[in-house]
Amino acid sequence: IDGKRKVLLNGAVSGLSESKAKYITDLTDHFLDPARLQNVDLSTLTDEELREKLLAVKGLGPWSVDMFMMFDLQRANVLPVGDLVVRKGLALFHNLPVKHFENKKNLSSLSQLCAAW
């Protein structure tokens, strides 16, 4: 209907693109694999461990992991520096051009300053 190719998951039309269906399948595979995420309590992992495990899943990037940490795990010490709205807000607050916060070094130093919060 919307021009996108619909994918069958378990015999039903999913409404997802083929790539998104593959990402969901890969996420499922990770949770079914004892060597990866099966029986892992994600809430007990450090931020670094969690990032390493989740970024190994096809389709999950730093932004998705940050959002999961903030909204699902309720971790308060996450600064989603890859989020354009966050970068624009930081630029406005610090009276700097948004391009300043495209530099990973500038973002890293800023996130360290905010770590105490």
Asked if residues 65 and 50 have their Cβ atoms less than 8 Å apart, the reply is yes
Active-site positions? 83
Work out whether the CA dihedral 81, 84, 86, 91 comes out positive or negative: positive
Bridging pattern class, strands 8-9 and 12-13: antiparallel
Tell me the three state secondary structure of residue 38: coil
Segment (H or E) for 8: strand 8-9
How far is residue 93's CA from residue 54's CA, in Å, rounded to a whole number? 31
How does DSSP classify residue 47?
Answer: H
